[in-house]
Amino acid sequence: MKNDRENIYNIPNLLSLYRLLSVPVLFYIAFRDNEKLFFYIFLFNMFTDVLDGFIARKFNLQTRLGAKLDSLADFFMYLLALYAVLHFKWDELKEYQYSFYLIIFYYLLIDIFALFKFKEIASLHLISSKISGIIQGIFFLLLFTVGLIKPFYWLMFILISFSFVENMFFLINLKEMRSNLKGIFWYKNLYKN
């Protein structure tokens, strides 16, 4: 990321802002029990999440504001996905409630820890977080189209658990919030810049 003055007016930041502003609308749609409309708009939002990251990296449009906007939008989209799963699909997931609650705990602990230590939500953008995010998106897509696929649920749970451990490792060891750290295998290079 650039250290000089950043151009915050770009497409990736606009896409992240759109996702953030769509949260109350999507919540209202889910609350009104319109599962189909909710699913299609949420699916579009997942696409914009992938798209903003791709555009930012491809055209060197990464900014500190963009990383924070993206993380904030992701946080609220996760809350929205959680609400939708509990609201529309809880009967299918009930037998996995304890592992599902553990996933919720992971996400809450990461952001609560970051808020207390750095006064902002976590925006590390680790590779493990990106991979587990893609798997979660596929899980969500499958859950709302074909139903619960148990082995895929456990794959998602394992990847989220690994990502949680890696995120906590960085949050505990960092002295200030950083973005795009890749992962624990690159840790030795963390303080060389």
The predicted structure's pLDDT at residue 191: 54
Among 89, 12, 77, 87, residue whose Cα is nearest residue 43:
77
CA distance 36 to 162: 32
The alpha helices in 32-149, defined as continuous H runs, are: 35-58, 64-88, 90-93, 97-118, 127-145
Helix, strand, or coil (residue 75): helix
Residue 122 per-residue DSSP state: -
Return the C-alpha torsion angle 66, 70, 71, 77, nearest 10.
160
Domain extents in the chain:
1-88, 91-193
**Model-wide pTM > 0.95:** no
The predicted structure's pLDDT at residue 51: 94
CA distance 63 to 10: 10
The predicted structure's pLDDT at residue 48: 95
The predicted structure's pLDDT at residue 5: 73
Taking only the tens of pLDDT, the chain with its 193 residues reads: 444 577 889 999 999 999 999 999 999 999 999 999 999 999 999 999 999 989 998 999 988 888 889 989 998 998 999 999 999 999 999 999 999 999 999 999 999 999 999 999 888 989 999 999 999 999 999 999 999 999 999 999 999 999 999 999 999 999 998 888 889 887 776 555 4
CA distance 91 to 145: 15
Which residues fall within 8 angstroms of residue 43, CB to CB, at 6 or more apart? 141
